[in-house]
Amino acid sequence: MKVVFLAPSYPPEMQQYTRGLAEVGATVYGVGDTPAAQLPPNVKRHLADYLQVPRLLDEDDVIRRVHQWLRGREVDRVLANWEVLVVTAARLRERFGLPGMSVDTVNGFRDKELMKERVRAAGLRTARSARIKTVAEARAAAEEIGYPLILKPIAGAGSADTYRVDSPQELERVLGAMRQIPEASCEEFITGDEFTFDTICIGGQPVYANVAHYLPPPLIARSVESISPVIITVRDLQQEKLAAGQQLGRGVLQALGMGDGFTHMEWFRKPDGEAVFGEIGCRPGGAHIVDQMNYTSDIDLFREWARVACWGTFQAPTERKYNAAIIFKRAKGHGRITRIEGLNEFMKKYGEFVVEQRLLTPGTPRRNWKHTLTSDGHILLRHPDWDKAYELSQIVADEIHLYAE
Ligand SMILES: Nc1ncnc2c1ncn2[C@@H]1O[C@H](COP(=O)(O)OP(=O)(O)OP(=O)(O)O)[C@@H](O)[C@H]1O
Ligand SMILES: [Mg+2]
């Protein structure tokens, strides 16, 4: 089994998929923009060969170079787990005549308007929306959809350039801020709780499924610096309030023609219980959610994904033992972290539930919380009981403080 894996070392969690591929017996050919000499040793040892390209996001250039590089060698799969490369991988598959999702199918997971059109055409509930390219189209769409509304790029990620707009005056301001974005979605604003629906699929059928609860919704978490964003995987997937969302999720996978691999969907649960589709990617979620899923069941989905992608089988137990909560912290102040308050007390009392403590240590420069949800580090904890997991996450959010002053 010879696999071309795009971006084997960056973002950092890709290193785990590279390991997973090697562990299930694949010969891994990596393609990335990191110089070969700078690849971490634990990535290098899993790669049979590596091609460094100058611009990883330049699809045409990457395709040309990979084609040349592989000349005379047979490969069986081209895979990518990073959102910005899923189309490149599909183009390479088509070029080489390899199995896997087509460019057209993958576009349905990447273009947020095409995605909603296909989901809507299957009779599933999405926010009302329109594709806009000009200021005039934006004004007309806003008139039609009404306020509040959401404006966001067609192929966004990380909630970058996503705006809630409450009035025509605000619309003008936001349009000014979005001038550099060529194409956007204008959407009905959905009020409700926000959840994920994550899967590993074989032929569009989930062999693994997960739901996680965002507390609060990502748009709020990334707008207010004083918030410590929390995401908790839900142990009990059978509960009534999550049924509609999971049913919606399975419908979406069919509507978009999912094949093999990871998916990460976001959906809203309105106060009346209705589930509304948000968005979906044909790749794993970021911000450590795969680690959270692993801690939920004590399994290794990095490796199981690889097994599915290479051999079409999934072997991990799917029994859910815990609710796994990740809490991201943001320091008060600027510059370097100077001290952490409340951590020792928390660890003394609740340390047995903590599986990862990765807060930045004093002396480390702060990260830009606008650019990365991981902010100034995280604590990951787990508990079999939802209320307890939730309560512990709120204690971390409210009672542990980082300072940079
Ligand atoms: N129609 C909507 N109604 C209410 N909130 C919305 C809507 N669309 C987006 N949001 C909010 O904005 C956030 C970011 O939107 P979306 O997930 O579409 O963009 P993204 O940039 O792909 O985000 P990410 O990569 O962080 O998942 C959502 O998680 C949600 O909180
Ligand atoms: Mg999103």
* pLDDT for 382: 98
Looking at the structure, do residues 222 and 312 belong to the same domain, yes or no? yes
Asked if 222 and 370 count as a contact pair (C-beta separation under 8 A), the reply is yes
Q: Is residue 112 part of a domain?
A: no
Tell whether ligand 1 has an atom less than 6 A from the beta carbon of residue 150.
yes
Tell whether ligand 1 has an atom less than 6 A from the beta carbon of residue 342.
no
Most ligand 1 atoms within 8 A of CB, residue of 147, 178, 186, 279 to mutate: 279
Name the one residue in this structure whose structure tokens are 């928390």.
Answer: 346
Looking at the structure, do residues 181 and 240 belong to the same domain, yes or no? no
* Tally of CB atoms within 10 A around 106: 26
Pairing mode, strands 261-269 and 275-281: antiparallel
Looking at the structure, do residues 26 and 52 belong to the same domain, yes or no? yes
Looking at the structure, do residues 18 and 71 belong to the same domain, yes or no? yes
Report CA-CA distances (Å) from 89 to 39, 63, 196. Answer: 21, 9, 24
Q: Is residue 64 part of a domain?
A: yes
Domain boundary among 188, 205, 221: 188
Tell me the one-letter amino acid at 5. F
| Model confidence band, residue 373 (pLDDT cutoffs 50, 70, 90) | confident
* pLDDT for 160: 67
Distance 365 CA to ligand 1 centre (A): 28
Distance 214 CA to ligand 2 centre (A): 11
Q: Whose C-alpha lies nearest to ligand 1, atom 13?
A: 219
pLDDT, tens digit (0-9, with 9 covering 90-100), for 281-336:
999 999 899 999 999 999 999 999 999 999 999 999 999 999 999 999 999 999 99
Instruction: Please give the residue range of the domain that contains residue 241.
Output: 192-319
Q: How many domains does the chain have?
A: 4
Long-range contacts formed by 99-108: CB under 8 A, 24+ apart: 100/259, 100/260, 101/257, 101/258, 101/259, 101/260, 101/261, 101/282, 105/256, 105/257, 105/258, 105/259, 106/282, 108/256, 108/257
Distance 154 CA to ligand 1 centre (A): 11
Looking at the structure, do residues 44 and 91 belong to the same domain, yes or no? yes
Looking from the CA of 379 toward its CB, the CA atoms found within 13 Å total 28
For residue 29, the domain's CATH number is 3.40.50.20
Distance 248 CA to ligand 2 centre (A): 16
- pLDDT at residue 117 greater than cutoff 90: yes
Looking at the structure, do residues 170 and 206 belong to the same domain, yes or no? no
Most ligand 1 atoms within 8 A of CB, residue of 111, 131, 159, 282 to mutate: 159
Looking at the structure, do residues 314 and 353 belong to the same domain, yes or no? no
| Model confidence band, residue 157 (pLDDT cutoffs 50, 70, 90) | low
* pLDDT for 156: 63
Is residue 232 classed exposed, middle or buried when 0-12, 13-18 and 19+ CB atoms within 10 A define those classes?
Answer: buried
Ligand with an atom nearest the CA of residue 181: 1
Cα(85)–Cα(91) distance, integer angstroms: 10
Tell me the one-letter amino acid at 148. P
Looking at the structure, do residues 310 and 384 belong to the same domain, yes or no? no
Tell whether ligand 1 has an atom less than 6 A from the beta carbon of residue 160.
yes
pLDDT, tens digit (0-9, with 9 covering 90-100), for 201-233:
999 999 999 999 999 999 999 889 999 999 999
Q: Is residue 348 part of a domain?
A: yes
Which residues 6+ apart lie within 8 Å of 14 measured at CB?
5, 7, 8, 81, 82
- pLDDT at residue 179 greater than cutoff 90: no
For residue 237, the domain's CATH number is 3.30.470.20
Domain boundary among 264, 299, 319: 319
Most ligand 1 atoms within 8 A of CB, residue of 162, 215, 231 to mutate: 162
pLDDT, tens digit (0-9, with 9 covering 90-100), for 264-292:
999 999 999 999 999 999 999 998 999 99
pLDDT, tens digit (0-9, with 9 covering 90-100), for 241-253:
999 999 999 999 9
Determine what percent of the chain is predicted with pLDDT higher than 90: 92
Q: Is residue 105 part of a domain?
A: no
